């Protein structure tokens, strides 16, 4: 059967004569009806060219290494190595291909990308190269193919040694300066593309991703330090987990936690002046009664306390307040075994300024943005254009095109926070 597709109500742009919308920068085979296509298939900036053979769309589930939380369910298959893809790149940037050969035994199929006669990429797409996804499930996730594009213009993608199957393709523009994401003009815009409030420095799992990471990670005054082990290096992990803590006589709920993965990893806090450190920890094992948390500054131990889940009263766990007498590095260690941290806050003694390691204030889960205490949420595309608003503390992004967005949460006290997310 013959089918010709023109999606998103945009005509095919050639040689980037017209600017492209970010919504056209992502191809997802899930948006195409299953079947056989004997004429060119056009989807946004992508044209799947039939060179004597057809393209076929069918259902097939797979995950890729760039975001293993996403399961793709459909693919477009080149039925000949002579078929090609034409991509109208709107600027310099990177094209990410979620592609597979469909054959574990075939190690010869290459993806070649050229622009204006210059070869940008030429490498084998290796079906056997896989990585565990975030949840440790099977099947494993396949690596993406990333192609750097130096300038705007047509990129030709060919498969000279064998056909490939494509689940998604995404173009990301080269570092563009973020416009001020405030809907009203700001006389003094912040040049930082990922600003954080001066009163709160948020360590957010949506920024680092619900994933394991084996290198030091710094947010504000807090650094998650990864210490190499004798047998293996155990990474930090951020995941969702609900717990309530007694903070200054009130019950505070938290939705995310930091898991050090082992007894060697620790948290370093660059304390700017004298003040108070507040920590909300759990052992993570209801039967463990020997896990201790040690807070120290230099050689001085400021706190050494057993953290046990049995200390909870009506499922509310205790928090710990530690006086810090002077500026300098403070370490939080768990020498016996891993302890999970839900909230860490440093409050300066004189100014009252809070530096917060808060995992659950602004985050995204299942493409739903949530900001505890927010009055309004704004969503901007990578060009700074406002594409969504919600007068609430949650907003569903599932109906938006896949891509990178900037979310701004404005809270009832007038403060704000921004977060970059990948839909």
The tens digit of pLDDT for each residue in 161-180 reads 999 999 999 998 865 444 44
Facing residues of 76 across strands? 57, 166
Is the C-alpha dihedral spanning 394, 399, 400, 402 positive or negative? positive
Given a cut of 50, whether residue 9 has pLDDT beyond it is no
pLDDT per position as a tens digit, 230-258: 667 888 888 778 889 998 888 888 777 88
Does residue 186 belong to any structural domain of this protein? no
Average pLDDT over the chain, rounded to an integer: 78
> Which of the pair, 68 or 167, is modelled with greater confidence?
167
The confidence score (pLDDT) of residue 209 equals 42
Q: Do residues 161 and 217 both lie within one domain?
A: no
Task: Domain of residue 353: give its range.
Answer: 205-360
Burial 267-289, CB ≥16 within 10 A → b, else e: bbbebeeebebbbbbbbbeeebe
Q: How confident is the model at residue 15 (pLDDT cuts 50, 70, 90)?
A: very low
Q: Do residues 326 and 225 both lie within one domain?
A: yes
Q: How confident is the model at residue 228 (pLDDT cuts 50, 70, 90)?
A: confident
The confidence score (pLDDT) of residue 296 equals 96
Q: Do residues 231 and 276 both lie within one domain?
A: yes
Q: Do residues 285 and 162 both lie within one domain?
A: no
Does residue 348 belong to any structural domain of this protein? yes
Q: How far is CA 252 from the centre of its chain?
A: 26
Q: How confident is the model at residue 199 (pLDDT cuts 50, 70, 90)?
A: very low
Alpha-carbon gap, residue 193 to 406, rounded angstroms: 9
Q: Do residues 236 and 161 both lie within one domain?
A: no
Q: Do residues 29 and 157 both lie within one domain?
A: yes
Count of structural domains within the chain? 2
Does residue 270 belong to any structural domain of this protein? yes
Q: Could you give the percent of the chain with pLDDT greater than 70?
A: 76
What CATH number did the domain enclosing 75 receive?
Answer: 2.60.120.200
Question: Closest by alpha carbon to 224, among 333, 307, 360?
Answer: 333
Q: Do residues 142 and 80 both lie within one domain?
A: yes
The confidence score (pLDDT) of residue 372 equals 75
Q: Do residues 168 and 294 both lie within one domain?
A: no
Does residue 80 belong to any structural domain of this protein? yes
Count H helices and E strands in the chain, helices first. Answer: 1, 36
Query: Is 114 in contact with 156 (CB distance < 8 Å)?
Result: yes
């Amino acid at each position: 059967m013959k089918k010709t597709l023109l999606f998103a109500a945009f005509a095919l742009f050639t040689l980037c004569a017209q600017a492209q919308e970010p919504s056209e920068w992502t191809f997802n085979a899930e948006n195409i009806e299953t079947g056989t296509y004997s004429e060119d298939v056009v989807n946004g900036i992508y044209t799947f060219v039939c060179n004597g053979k057809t393209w076929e769309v069918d259902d097939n589930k797979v995950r890729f290494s760039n975001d293993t939380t996403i399961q793709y369910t459909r693919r477009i298959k080149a039925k000949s190595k002579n078929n090609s893809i034409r991509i109208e790149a709107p600027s310099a940037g990177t094209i990410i291909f979620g592609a597979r050969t469909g054959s574990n035994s075939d190690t010869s199929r290459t993806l070649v990308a050229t622009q204006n006669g210059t070869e940008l990429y030429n490498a084998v797409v290796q079906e056997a190269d896989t990585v565990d996804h975030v949840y440790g499930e099977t099947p494993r996730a396949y690596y993406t193919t990333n192609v750097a594009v130096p300038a705007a213009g047509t990129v030709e993608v060919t498969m000279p040694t064998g056909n490939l199957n494509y689940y998604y393709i995404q173009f990301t523009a080269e570092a563009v300066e973020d416009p001020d994401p405030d809907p009203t003009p700001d006389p003094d815009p912040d040049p930082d593309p990922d600003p954080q409030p001066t009163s709160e420095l948020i360590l957010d799992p949506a920024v680092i991703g619900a994933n394991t990471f084996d290198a030091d990670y710094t947010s504000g005054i807090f650094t998650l330090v990864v210490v190499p082990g004798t047998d293996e290096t155990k990474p930090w992990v951020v995941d969702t987990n609900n717990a309530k803590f007694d903070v200054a006589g009130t019950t505070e709920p938290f939705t995310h936690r930091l898991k050090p993965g082992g007894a060697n990893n620790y948290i370093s806090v660059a304390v700017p002046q004298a003040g108070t450190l507040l920590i909300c920890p759990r052992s993570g094992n209801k039967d463990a009664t020997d896990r201790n948390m040690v807070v120290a500054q230099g050689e001085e131990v400021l706190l050494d306390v057993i953290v046990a889940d049995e200390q909870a009263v009506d499922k509310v766990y205790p928090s710990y307040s530690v006086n810090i007498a002077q500026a300098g590095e403070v370490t939080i260690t768990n020498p016996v075994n891993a302890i999970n941290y839900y909230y860490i806050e440093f409050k300066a003694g004189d100014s009252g300024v809070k530096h917060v390691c808060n995992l659950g204030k602004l985050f995204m889960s299942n493409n739903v943005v949530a900001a505890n205490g927010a009055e309004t949420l704004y969503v901007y595309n990578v060009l700074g254009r406002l594409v969504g608003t919600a007068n609430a503390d949650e907003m569903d992004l599932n109906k938006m095109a896949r891509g990178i967005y900037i979310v701004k949460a404005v809270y009832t006290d007038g403060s704000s926070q921004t977060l970059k997310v990948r839909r």
